[in-house]
Amino acid sequence: MTATRRNTSPVRLLVASTPHGAALLAAAADAGLLGTVRERLLLVANTAPVPETAPAPDALPGFRPLRDRFGRVLSWNAALAPLHPAAWAPRPDDAPLWERQLRSLWGLGDAAVELVVERVEAGPGQALARIFPDAPLTVYATGLSAYGPTPGRLDPLVGTRVRRLLHPGLAPGLRPLLLAEFGVAAEAVPGEALRAVAARAARELPDPGAPEGAVVLLGQDPHAPGALPPGEEERVYGRLLRGLREAGHRAVVLAPHPADPAHRVPGIARRAAELGLELYEPRGAQPVEALYERLRPALVTGRSFGALLAASTVHGLPASHGGTAVHSSGAGAYEGGGPVAAVIADALLPGEACPAGPAGAAELSDPAELSELARLVRAVAFCAQPRVNPGLRGETERFLAAHPEERVRRWFPRRLLASLALPGGLPAGLGPVVRSPAVRRAARRARALGRRARR
């Protein structure tokens, strides 16, 4: 018998779970970064905690102008129902069955498949990487996550399949660390393509009704590393609003994060009313980049650091973190990828409510300052994921030893430094003792004995 040969003309599956992801993929297609394939399919995943209560990315305003970049738009939720698309992944023995099912459902036949996903360690990306085990992978990052560490040790059988990392290039001069342990080449999507996509989407948005010169206030992602609890978030945003009022601003357009629950908005609205600020809320969830092009605001501020850098770097707008970056320097920020986004925003953006500098790309013109920022980012990345980036330990030790000042050490909780035996975690005299291999072996044996005694 003759073996069945797979069609070598590939089909590319591009997965988007947010409007930002769909816009970046459209811009990458316009810039020629996605190459030529037999068919380009957009697989939309609604990964909200309760998908039935939130619109999918292709149902949001501003999606229609993106539609013509893709041959077909498919639904990951429909293919998996009633399973949740964010939490499900197939068991190894079931993956071949799912591949046959999806090839039949989506009309892929025996075509070779290429995958473009936002994450490969979780969610739809992880599931599809298992289902199509021979598919080359391209990973993309929509914000500043490209500059942070890979969130956890990735299976080498998956990591070595990643060919490229696409990202929006929001921190010019910084080298992305995501997937760097696999030697993945990073490629920035041109800002001109990103802005053109946003401008097209802006024409589809309803009029927010805000006057010229309004401020866009960005809501935080409640699931981001270091996200503030609701009470603290209201206090921080209250200080932000007060700073805007003192700087002479009168109109504010609130742009909540798509994942931000609606009950957080009334507290901000009450505080704005107390300060005499006019607060405008656009109808429905709108892509914030399209809102930038529709409004051309006088200032963009808030705690969504990737969107702030996009406003400055891509859209040429004045942006400020308003002092909120320093609230992401605690231990809670290290529960995810570390405070890399806050570190970059703090270095590249002003903290004042009314920046004095001109609008334009946020960047460091001094090579020494850029090199210093790169070392700080790598040190934070090591502390966030020491098992992913063990080669950064020596550099991190040297950096921390050379920078005892508060402006640097505020990003490194003392307890975290102590747990990693890094400078600044313990009194200087105890450092060599803690780093001794013999002492660490004895400590591990003591912990093991303690665990056995408690059983």
Report pLDDT digits (tens) over 59-108: 887 888 888 899 999 999 999 999 988 889 999 999 999 999 999 999 99
Owning domain of residue 14:
7-197
Q: Which residue has the tokens 């190459």?
A: 35
Residue-level pLDDT at 3: 46
Average pLDDT over residues 419-442: 69
Residue-level pLDDT at 136: 96
Q: Which residues does residue 253 pair with via DSSP β-bridges, in sequence order?
A: 216, 280
Residues 307 and 246: their CA atoms lie apart, in Å, by: 24
For 162-175, the DSSP string reads EEEEEE---STTPP
Report if residue 403 sits inside a domain. no
Residues 289 and 76: their CA atoms lie apart, in Å, by: 25
Residue whose C-alpha is closest to residue 411's, from 384, 431, 372, 385: 384
For residue 358, count CB atoms less than 10 angstroms from its CB and return exposed for 0-12, middle for 13-18, buried for 19 or more.
Answer: exposed
Report if residue 221 sits inside a domain. no
Residue-level pLDDT at 249: 92
Amino acid identity for residue 217 in this structure: L
Whether 352 has a pLDDT exceeding 90, the answer reads: no
Contact between 319 and 301 under an 8 Å Cβ cutoff? The reply is: yes
For 174-227, the DSSP string reads PPP-TTGGGTPEEEEPPHHHHHHHHHHHHTTSPP--PPTTPEEEEPP-TTSTTP
Report if residue 97 sits inside a domain. yes
Residue-level pLDDT at 431: 52
Residues 390 and 383: their CA atoms lie apart, in Å, by: 10
Residue-level pLDDT at 356: 52
* 35-49, 328-342, 423-437: least confidently modelled range: 423-437
Contact between 238 and 323 under an 8 Å Cβ cutoff? The reply is: no
Residue-level pLDDT at 1: 41
How confident is the model over 272-326, as pLDDT tens digits?
A: 999 999 999 887 667 889 899 999 999 999 988 999 999 999 999 999 998 888 7
Report if residue 335 sits inside a domain. no
> DSSP state, 445?
H
What CA dihedral angle connects 280, 239, 170 and 373, to 10 degrees? Answer: 180
The percent of residues above 70 in pLDDT, for the chain, comes to 86
Report if residue 236 sits inside a domain. no
Whether 46 has a pLDDT exceeding 50, the answer reads: yes
Residue-level pLDDT at 152: 87
Residues 341 and 357: their CA atoms lie apart, in Å, by: 22
CATH code of the domain in which 185 resides? 3.40.50
Mean pLDDT of the chain: 86
Residue-level pLDDT at 206: 82
Please name the helix (run of DSSP H) or strand (run of DSSP E) that holds residue 442, with its range, or none.
helix 437-454
Average pLDDT over residues 393-416: 92
Residue-level pLDDT at 298: 93
Residues 34 and 29: their CA atoms lie apart, in Å, by: 5
Residues 113 and 103: their CA atoms lie apart, in Å, by: 10
Residues 6+ apart with CB under 8 A from 249: 214, 215, 277, 298, 299, 353, 354
Whether 359 has a pLDDT exceeding 60, the answer reads: no
Residues 169 and 407: their CA atoms lie apart, in Å, by: 26
* Structure token pair of residue 397: 């030790």
Whether 2 has a pLDDT exceeding 50, the answer reads: no
Average pLDDT over residues 353-361: 56
Taking phi over 0 as left and psi of -120 to 50 as alpha, with beta for the rest, 296 belongs to left
Q: Which residues does residue 280 pair with via DSSP β-bridges, in sequence order?
A: 253
Most confident option among 19-28, 265-274, 350-359: 19-28
Report if residue 176 sits inside a domain. yes
Report if residue 78 sits inside a domain. yes
* 75-79, 134-138, 261-265: least confidently modelled range: 261-265
Residues 244 and 89: their CA atoms lie apart, in Å, by: 46
Report if residue 178 sits inside a domain. yes
Residues 303 and 232: their CA atoms lie apart, in Å, by: 13
Residue-level pLDDT at 225: 67
Q: Which residues does residue 41 pair with via DSSP β-bridges, in sequence order?
A: 13, 72
Number of domains in the chain: 1
